[in-house]
Amino acid sequence: MKIDEVKTDMWFKAMDSWFGMCRHMAEKPSSSKANKLYYELYVKYYERLISATEKGNIVVHPTSVPTEIIYAMDLVPMLVTSSTWQMAYSLKMFDKVLAIAKDYGIMDETCSVHRMIGAFAFKGWFPKPVAFVYAAGGCDAFCGSSRLLSHLYDVPTYCIDTPYHYTGQDIAYLTLQLDEMVNLLEETTGRKMDWDRLKESITIAQKQMELFQEIRELRKAVPSPMENRRAWQLNWFNWIYAGSDDGVAFFRTLRDELKERVEKGVGVPGVEEKFRLLDLFMAPAHSFKLLDWMQKERGANIVSETLIRYDNDVVLNPDKPLESLARKWAGGPLWNELQGTTDDVVRAAVEDAKAYKVDGAIWWDNNSCRQCGCIRMTRDGLLDKIGIPTALVTCDIMDPAFTTYDEMKDSLAQFFELLDSRERS
Amino acid sequence: MTMKLKYLDEMREIGNPYPNSEYIEKWKENGGKVIGWICNYVPEEIIHAAKMLPYRMTGASEEIEMEDGDAYLHIYSCSFTRSCCQLAVEGKFKFLDGFVSTAMCDGSRRLADVIDHYGFVDLIASLGVPRKFDEKSEALYRREIFQFKKRLEAYSESEISDDSIRDSIRLYNRTRQLLKELYDLRKLDAPPVSGAETLEVLNAVTRMPREKFNEILEKLLAEIKGRRLNSDWKVRLMIDGSIIQNIDFVKSIEELGGLVAMDGLCNGARYWEGEVDTGLEPIPALSRYYLNKFPCPRFYPPTVRTDKVMNLIKEFRIEGIICQIIRYCNTHTWDFPILRSEVEEIGIPTLRLDTEYGQGATGRIKTRVQAFIEMLQERKVAR
């Protein structure tokens, strides 16, 4: 089965609603500079995507591939996972979309992000790209939905096979594949790689990584200066604005904002820090307000996310752009942890828990996520090695009906009680 | 009356009870070492060449309580890995001297992590397996196999020579030839061997020394060839999926009139298909063979696998496919819509069965299979 007709009406409808929400957030009088810029840039990213789609220009779907490459070829990337979330969120059609996935044979026992990707693909609701490139890493659902998307849209595809280990030879393997991907994109789109532009974006990406690390360092301050939901914003921009001036602008603005708070010895406005928490997994995308609630109402600051970090030894070299991107990918947010062993996850968690002086950790126990296979070891690791308890919050990353907002809140409230009693004793 | 197969009984006796059979106990008493492996992409030849017994780690071949498996691996891991984990926590794999895994899927990755972390069995290696079929992937996999060999040498404190790997390749190729012979018999209009019996052979192949297995299978084949089975089946089926070991599951399908003529199972045709090229250096030959056999659905592009299934449909005159998906197996979950769309284009219907690993054919499953078989029969009549 292939997609006969691409119907982007739903997508455009979702965009309208999304833009409205972003503009509203950016214009809020209480919005900080970084917050304002975040929403403005989000709108800019999607406007560019819409324009490319409307003009019949080139749109590729680089799910988890280095977007520096796409930009350097003057192509417009569309990140499938974030677009899926954005579309589902804007349309408020969670049930309907998940039911579509089921109709097409994608059962409930797999992650809802990917079920939604499958549903949108079957319906032809994503714009049709001239080429599809994806990295087969992270988790099986990621590979599965990408494989299906490529099959349904029937466009030239490149799959980056991500190795399990990361020795020099594995990096060489990854680098060779990035090179092949560039060739495929050149052949299918007629656009040539601008190697100078790519080198330049590597220099920018290095700056971006440094700012990213600075932000992480600033969060070690007591009280911690950053809003809980901000880390995921950083993560998205780390992909969609990778190696770009806009990305640097956002990171710098945020860094400055946090630095100022740290210098003044104040935390997030209106928050009295009570607990410092380590976030071990992905919070439900439909309920980020939960992150706001715990911070504002309970003084629970998330100070680090083990999924959103770089290995310390990642340094980019503009003279070796593809190899640099392979290293950045392998040692960067999400993939270094999802792809690696659980012992790596435990090591990172214990390291961060100590460095950020956390009181507790949260694992968002996402429905049908195979990474939950790491939960027991990570929880045991944190408790046995440094006495840090972990809350397991049952949720579904995309489906708000799976666990209600109040149920999640209750579950967190119980955990805060536990932390309270530990503090007292 | 169906003639009993003496040599199948012998296989059954050696391989059971699983996991720790008397045969294995004796093997251990005589100083033999046993290395567990879990995924088709672990080259058993290397273990055999190290003079150790490769032994496939699986879960129990029936549904069991998995309290520990759920606790260590979480219920969102597939029930095959949780069943393995359950047995590991219960100490059922204590007889293993080591364990080898791969990073083929999230389940095998996390199972290896748990087994290693909690020290249920010593993890010798977890091999990274590429997802593609090209030369670069072969080179990467070659290095993985080489590293695995080094680790095993360090573990066993003895060198594994190229000549001994060559010998093991020859021995394992012989198994592949014999299993092909067995499968070829199922192409006949009235196969002298059932799908359920074939599955018993497949269960046995990885639970005993290969020399012994080949010897018995040769005799079994002679026995089978002189036998006639009832041929009142209604349709010819293929079972696709990850791993099925419950004989009753297949037996029930056959009792309903569905001749299980072929499979695309991880412990079936995907395990033995093809042969290692003995003209090449041993490790490159292994790398090439393992990466190019009937692929697991996690490989890219999917057409390699679907083309393979299409060929088997023709070769074995398959009329319908039962796609058995173990709960929480992502790899097959995502492959199913692709496979279904491809085979339905050539008029082959599919029946998707979501089951727990080890599950037999329950009433509900039987009803669905029966309806599927009836539908296939009607189509036949309509033609």
Q: What is the DSSP string of B3-39?
A: PP-HHHHHHHHHH-SSSS-HHHHHHHHTT--EEEE-S
The C-alpha of B326 sits at a distance from chain A's nearest C-alpha, in angstroms, of 10
DSSP class of residue A370 equals: G
Q: Residues of B with CB below 8 A from A170's CB?
A: 128, 140
Which range marks the domain in which residue B95 is found?
Answer: 13-160
DSSP class of residue B347 equals: T
- Residue B344 within any structural domain of the chain: no
CB A273 within 8 A of CB A64: no
B53 phi and psi angles, rounded to 5 deg: -95, 115
CB A217 within 8 A of CB A254: no
Please give the Cα distance from A180 to A336 (Å, whole number).
Answer: 22
The residue with greater pLDDT, A334 or B49, is: B49
Task: Indicate which of A109, A160, A162, A180 best probes the interface with B, i.e. most B CBs within 10 Å of its own CB.
Answer: A109
- pTM comes to 0.95
Q: Residues of A with CB below 8 A from B132's CB?
A: 159, 161
Residue of B nearest to A103 (CA): B337
Task: Give one word for A265, left, alpha or beta, with left for phi > 0 and alpha for psi -120 to 50.
Answer: left
Residues in Cβ contact with B224 at an 8 Å cutoff, skipping those fewer than 6 apart = B5, B182, B185, B192, B193
Cβ of B113 within 8 Å of Cβ of A109? The answer is no
Cβ of A161 within 8 Å of Cβ of B300? The answer is yes
Q: What string of H, E and C letters represents the secondary structure of B270-288?
A: HHHCCCCCCCCCHHHHHHH
Q: Based on the structure, what is the number of domains in chain B?
A: 1
From first to last of its 425 residues, chain A has per-residue pLDDT tens of 788 788 888 888 988 898 898 989 888 887 899 999 999 999 999 999 889 888 777 888 877 899 999 999 999 999 998 888 888 888 888 889 999 999 988 888 899 999 999 999 999 999 989 899 999 988 999 999 999 999 999 999 999 999 998 899 999 999 999 999 999 999 999 999 999 999 999 999 999 999 999 999 999 999 999 999 999 999 999 999 999 999 999 999 999 999 999 999 999 999 999 999 999 999 998 899 999 999 999 999 999 999 999 987 889 999 999 999 999 998 888 887 788 899 999 999 999 999 999 999 999 999 999 988 899 999 999 999 999 999 999 999 999 999 999 999 999 999 999 999 998 88
Render A173-206 in DSSP notation, one character per residue. HHHHHHHHHHHHHHHHH-PPP-HHHHHHHHHHHH
Of A140, A372, A377, the CB nearest to B117: A377
For the packed helices A230-240 and A245-264, what is the interaxial angle rounded to 10 degrees? 160
Q: Which amino acid is at B295?
A: P
Task: Tell me if residue A381 falls in helix, strand or coil.
Answer: helix
* Neighbour count for residue A90 (Cβ, 10 Å): 19
In angstroms, how far is CA B157 from the centroid of its own chain?
A: 30
CB A275 within 8 A of CB A359: yes
Going through A87-152 in order, the beta strands assigned E by DSSP cover: 131-136
Residues in Cβ contact with A87 at an 8 Å cutoff, skipping those fewer than 6 apart = A10, A11, A14, A120, A125
Tell me, what's the pLDDT at A418? 97
Cβ of A373 within 8 Å of Cβ of B333? The answer is no
Burial of B246 (0-12, 13-18, 19+ CB in 10 A): buried
Tell me, what's the pLDDT at A195? 98
CB B89 within 8 A of CB B68: yes
Residues in Cβ contact with A66 at an 8 Å cutoff, skipping those fewer than 6 apart = A178, A242, A243, A325, A328, A329
Which tokens hold the place of B31? 């100083």
B325 phi and psi angles, rounded to 5 deg: -115, 120
Residues in Cβ contact with A81 at an 8 Å cutoff, skipping those fewer than 6 apart = A63, A64, A113, A117
Give the C-alpha distances (Å, rounded to integers) separating A44 from A18, A51, A67, A204, A241: 12, 10, 16, 19, 11
- Residue B131 within any structural domain of the chain: yes
The residue with greater pLDDT, B113 or A138, is: B113
The C-alpha of A121 sits at a distance from chain B's nearest C-alpha, in angstroms, of 12
The C-alpha of B274 sits at a distance from chain A's nearest C-alpha, in angstroms, of 24
Cβ of A367 within 8 Å of Cβ of B302? The answer is no
Cβ of A139 within 8 Å of Cβ of B71? The answer is no
Of B105, B130, B341, the CB nearest to A161: B130
The CA R_g of chain B, rounded to the nearest whole Å, is: 20
Cβ of B114 within 8 Å of Cβ of A376? The answer is yes
* Neighbour count for residue A24 (Cβ, 10 Å): 11
Average pLDDT of the residues of chain B: 95
| Residue located via tokens 């950020």 | A356
Taking the CA atoms of residue B350, residue B354, residue B358 and residue B362 in that order, the dihedral angle to the nearest 10 degrees is -90
Please give the Cα distance from B369 to B375 (Å, whole number).
Answer: 10
| CATH code of the domain made up of A9-195 | 3.40.50.11890
How many beta-carbon contacts under 8 Å exist across A and B? 137
Domain limits, chain A: 9-195
- Residue B50 within any structural domain of the chain: yes
Sign of CA dihedral B64, B67, B68, B69: positive
Q: Residues of A with CB below 8 A from B103's CB?
A: 164
Buried b vs exposed e over A203-228: b needs ≥16 C-beta within 10 Å?
Answer: ebbbbbbebbebbbebbbbebbbbbb
The CA R_g of chain A, rounded to the nearest whole Å, is: 21
Tell me, what's the pLDDT at B2? 64
Residue of A nearest to B327 (CA): A109
Residue B79: give its domain's CATH number. 3.40.50.11890
Q: Residues of B with CB below 8 A from A122's CB?
A: 337
- Residue B307 within any structural domain of the chain: no
Q: Residues of B with CB below 8 A from A367's CB?
A: 76
Task: Indicate which of B333, B346, B353, B355 best probes the interface with A, i.e. most A CBs within 10 Å of its own CB.
Answer: B333
Please name which of B102, B157, B148 lies closest in space to residue B282, comparing C-alpha atoms. Answer: B148
* Neighbour count for residue B86 (Cβ, 10 Å): 23
Please name which of B296, B297, B293 lies closest in space to residue B335, comparing C-alpha atoms. Answer: B297
Q: Which amino acid is at A250?
A: F
Cβ of B330 within 8 Å of Cβ of A110? The answer is yes
User: What are the tens digits of pLDDT across the range B234-289?
Assistant: 999 999 999 999 999 999 999 999 999 999 999 999 999 999 999 999 999 999 99
Q: Is A183 on the interface with B (CB under 8 A)?
A: no
Residue of A nearest to B328 (CA): A109
- Residue B134 within any structural domain of the chain: yes
Mean pLDDT of B331-356: 95
Which tokens hold the place of B276? 């290692």
Please give the Cα distance from A70 to A49 (Å, whole number).
Answer: 13
Which tokens hold the place of A161? 């096979």
